[in-house]
Amino acid sequence: MHAPSRVTTKQASFPLIAAAWALLALASAPTGAREAGADDVGRRVQTLFRDTCARCHRQASRRPHGAFDFAGDLARVASDPTLIVPGDAGASPLLERITRASIGDDPETGHDVGEEAHTLIRQWIEMGAPHPPEDLATSRPPAARRFGQFHPLIVHFPVALLIAALLAEGIALLFRRPGLHATARFCLALGTLGALSASLTGWLWADAGGQSAALHRWLGVATTAFAAATCLLSVMSLRADTRAARIAYRLALFATIALLVYTGNTGGTLVYGPDHHVPPW
């Protein structure tokens, strides 16, 4: 009878280490050089509005604040005379509201965005309130965008399947149900395929949504990489049948779910705002 091959702890943990290095490389990779001039200022203001203002002032928020519910649409903000007077920051009502909020005269008008952001918005208005000619979303081919719109539908399947894999593995250990180990591996394999599909559709659907959206996209890639590494570890633990391989597989599975939960939370914040965990009452 063929004896199972021995796998050392170092060998068993190699896929997880590789995934961790990939995550580190993605996190440290430059996001691209800034363009000089008006387009650069417009992109910086667009990022500011989407990362800061749109969290509360957006239609999708559970409790949108005020009438500024299109904060993420820079072109619409720039063309609204009740907010912006291009070329004249002093006459722009939006800057006046931000100023009043920053000094605490009227907290109902908004929140303090900080001196640096305040200066950037003033500069943007004085430059004529330019906005980028197109963003990542509008530059995608229409067919790719249509395929990417399946992201909200697809993304829930890997979330459920990967969590089910962890639950099945945990129940198999706690209640000594060895048959559930196979169930865990099955859910893990399907969840990894689902995570790959969700990452692909997310990139095709994504717009230029600023640092928060970029973080969510790269976290999705990292989650997929961790899930794939965990799949490899599950196969290695099954073939080697050693304690070291099984421990590495279970630790990787737990790390994948932890990363999955954090990634899902950043996605919820993008869609529903930072208060999406707060009860509506």
| Domain assignment of residue 156, yes or no | yes
| Domain assignment of residue 4, yes or no | no
The verdict on 176 and 161 lying in the same domain is yes
| 212 in Cβ contact with 266 (< 8 Å) | yes
The verdict on 261 and 159 lying in the same domain is yes
The verdict on 141 and 79 lying in the same domain is no
At 116, the pLDDT band (50, 70, 90 cuts) reads confident
Amino acid at 206: A
* Distance from C-alpha of 105 to C-alpha of 222, rounded to nearest angstrom: 44
Strand partners, 33: none
The verdict on 206 and 248 lying in the same domain is yes
| Domain assignment of residue 132, yes or no | no
Kindly report which listed range (21-35, 94-108, 113-127) carries the lowest average pLDDT score.
21-35
For 10-58, what is each residue's pLDDT tens digit?
A: 555 555 555 555 555 554 544 443 343 666 777 778 777 776 765 565 5
| Domain assignment of residue 68, yes or no | yes
| Domain assignment of residue 3, yes or no | no
The verdict on 87 and 213 lying in the same domain is no
3-state DSSP assignment of residue 70: strand
Cα-Cα-Cα-Cα dihedral of 46, 52, 53, 58, to 10°? 100
The verdict on 56 and 78 lying in the same domain is yes
Number of domains observed in the structure of the chain: 2
pTM of the shown model:
0.59
Structural domain that includes position 177: 9-31+137-272
| Domain assignment of residue 279, yes or no | no
3-state DSSP assignment of residue 67: coil
Longest Cα pair distance anywhere in the chain, in angstroms?
Answer: 86
The DSSP code for 273 is: -
| Domain assignment of residue 1, yes or no | no
Domain closes at, from 92, 126, 160: 126
The verdict on 17 and 83 lying in the same domain is no
3-state DSSP assignment of residue 118: helix
Domain closes at, from 83, 107, 126: 126
* Distance from C-alpha of 187 to C-alpha of 169, rounded to nearest angstrom: 10
The verdict on 122 and 209 lying in the same domain is no
For 129-170, what is each residue's pLDDT tens digit?
A: 887 665 444 455 667 777 888 888 999 999 999 999 999 999
* Distance from C-alpha of 29 to C-alpha of 90, rounded to nearest angstrom: 39
* Distance from C-alpha of 178 to C-alpha of 50, rounded to nearest angstrom: 49
The verdict on 52 and 172 lying in the same domain is no
For 203-227, what is each residue's pLDDT tens digit?
A: 887 654 455 677 888 999 999 999 9
CA distances from 25 to 19, 22, 84, 218, 222 (A): 10, 5, 40, 11, 10
Strand partners, 58: 70
CA distances from 267 to 35, 65, 246, 263 (A): 28, 20, 32, 6
Cα-Cα-Cα-Cα dihedral of 194, 195, 197, 203, to 10°? 160
| Domain assignment of residue 278, yes or no | no
The verdict on 205 and 78 lying in the same domain is no
The verdict on 142 and 261 lying in the same domain is yes
The verdict on 238 and 183 lying in the same domain is yes
CA distances from 249 to 24, 157, 163, 237 (A): 21, 22, 15, 7
Domain closes at, from 126, 146, 161: 126
